[in-house]
């Protein structure tokens, strides 16, 4: 309970700073973050006082799970009047109150219904307030991320013990999914980005994993067809080709992220050298992972290192499909703040958890690289990822 009270307190402090009278939380992950329940509804947070969770379904579960009072939503047409009656100090000041909500994830149609239901309200975008709040993790959150990384490590070992030449990518990722599910993985990985979807990660080999896709990452994958054009395919894995194992695991909502490069036999010299560069970038990034480092400086460093190695055109994708980041925040969603990219001026702070993933894409050949998840501490970092590094030979 103290954890949820602290989150609401920090949100209300931000609201006071920005002149916001109320915050309407709408997205399921944000609802879970603030209440501990992911039932469908809306959480109204006044700038002063206790919030209330208006639940469409299931009220019964929300009343058991939620850290704050949960009541039935009732008719949507009367929802605005219900909130105004419950929070008269917000809505009876003689002026239109300023209400924030998450514009980055709220469908226009739903927002228009809210506008009609609430009437004379000044709406503002509260997306960054929530995302920046969630950017700093508590020790309880980091403990769940540790557990997630431990299970990912065990699942990778299990899958590698069964990997052999001729096995398909689909069989490989199925072994990973099987073991993570046995150990408590919730079976999905959430993303906030519009139209971005992810299940286990990007697990693939050779030319297939280097196929570009709409997914916002350095590796694509052939996938099982146009309906899910990314990740593992039915392609057989051959000897002496790179196998990229970029996997996540979700424990109690929290997701870790790691990548390892695997080969049955030996990689060609060009790919081995590129892998060495990816580890060099990772080591240099680790030397910078401490409070005060500016996020974009990590990306600029990586770009310069890749350029010096003659690999700039292959760094984090290839050609027009290159992505422009080195890493990303992680927690309840795979694509959280901060982003290690140009334009992101956030200084690293204790409590941030980031995945750093220097990778190189070679069209028609494969993708190689490494990725670890790190928690920023008062004097540096804690590496949450446990899996052994280096090119893993099977």
- C-alpha 261/C-alpha 367 separation (Å) is 8
Q: What is the pLDDT of residue 5?
A: 97
Instruction: Name the residue with tokens 């909502």.
Output: 253
Position 95 scores a pLDDT of: 84
146 and 47 in a common domain: no
pLDDT < 70 positions in the chain: 1, 93
CA atoms within 13 A on the CB side of 133: 21
- pLDDT recorded at residue 1: 60
The residues near 292 (Cβ < 8 Å, ≥ 6 apart) are 347, 348
Q: 232 with 362, same domain? A: yes
Strand partners, 255: 250
368 and 219 in a common domain: yes
- How far apart (Å, rounded) are the C-alpha atoms in residues 272 and 268? 6
- 346's tokens: 């956030």
Domain span at residue 50 reads 2-134
Looking at the fold, whether 204 and 226 belong to one and the same domain comes out as: yes
Q: Say which residues have a Cβ less than 8 Å from residue 49's Cβ, sequence separation at least 6.
A: 87, 89
Statement to judge: residues 360 and 291 lie in one domain: yes
Are residues 84 and 226 both part of a single domain?
Answer: no
pLDDT computed for residue 92 by the predictor? 83
Are β-strands 40-46 and 122-125 bridged in parallel, bridged antiparallel, or unpaired?
A: unpaired
Q: Which helix (H) or strand (E) holds 79?
A: helix 79-86
**pLDDT at position 389, please?**
98
- pLDDT tens-digit map of 271-306: 999 999 999 999 999 999 999 999 999 999 999 999
Q: Are 375 and 353 in contact (CB under 8 A)?
A: yes
Structural contact between residues 103 and 128, judged by C-beta atoms closer than 8 angstroms: no
Residue 23 contacts residue 54 (beta carbons within 8 Å) = no
Q: What pLDDT is stored for residue 94 in this prediction?
A: 74
Residue 246 and residue 102 share a domain: no
Q: In this structure, are 268 and 368 located in the same domain?
A: yes
Cα 31–33–35 angle (5° rounding)?
60
């Amino acid at each position: 309970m103290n954890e949820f009270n602290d989150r609401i307190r920090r949100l209300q402090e931000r609201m006071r700073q920005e002149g916001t009278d109320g915050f309407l939380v709408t997205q399921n992950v944000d609802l879970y973050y603030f209440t501990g329940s992911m039932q469908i509804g809306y959480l109204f947070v006044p700038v002063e006082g206790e919030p209330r969770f208006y639940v469409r379904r299931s009220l019964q579960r929300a009343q058991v799970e939620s850290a704050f009072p949960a009541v039935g939503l009732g008719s949507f047409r009367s929802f605005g009047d219900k909130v105004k009656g419950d929070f008269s100090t917000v809505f009876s000041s003689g002026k239109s109150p300023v209400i924030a909500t998450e514009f980055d994830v709220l469908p226009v149609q739903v927002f228009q219904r809210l506008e009609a239901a609430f009437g004379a309200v000044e709406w503002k975008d509260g997306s960054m307030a929530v995302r920046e709040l969630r950017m700093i993790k508590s020790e309880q959150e980091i403990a769940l991320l540790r557990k997630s990384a431990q299970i990912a490590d065990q699942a990778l070992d299990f899958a590698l013990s069964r990997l052999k030449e001729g096995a398909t990518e689909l069989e490989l990722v199925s072994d990973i999914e099987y073991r993570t599910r046995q150990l408590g993985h919730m079976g999905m990985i959430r993303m906030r980005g519009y139209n971005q979807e992810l299940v286990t990660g990007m697990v693939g080999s050779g030319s297939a994993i280097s196929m570009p896709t709409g997914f916002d990452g350095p590796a694509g994958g052939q996938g099982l067809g146009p309906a899910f054009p990314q990740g593992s395919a039915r392609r057989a894995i051959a000897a002496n080709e790179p196998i990229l194992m970029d996997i996540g695991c979700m424990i109690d909502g929290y997701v870790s992220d790691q990548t390892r490069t695997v080969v049955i036999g030996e990689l060609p010299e060009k790919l081995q050298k590129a892998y060495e560069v990816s580890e060099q970038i990772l080591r240099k990034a680790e030397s910078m992972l401490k409070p005060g480092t500016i996020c974009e400086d990590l990306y600029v460093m990586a770009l310069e290192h890749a350029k010096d190695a003659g690999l700039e055109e292959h760094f984090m994708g290839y050609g027009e499909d290159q992505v422009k980041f080195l890493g990303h925040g992680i927690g309840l969603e795979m694509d959280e703040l901060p982003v290690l990219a140009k334009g992101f001026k956030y200084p690293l702070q204790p409590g941030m958890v980031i995945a750093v993933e220097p990778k190189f894409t070679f069209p028609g050949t494969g993708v190689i690289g490494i990725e670890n998840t790190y928690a920023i501490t008062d004097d540096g970092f804690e590496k949450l990822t446990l899996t052994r590094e280096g090119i893993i030979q099977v």
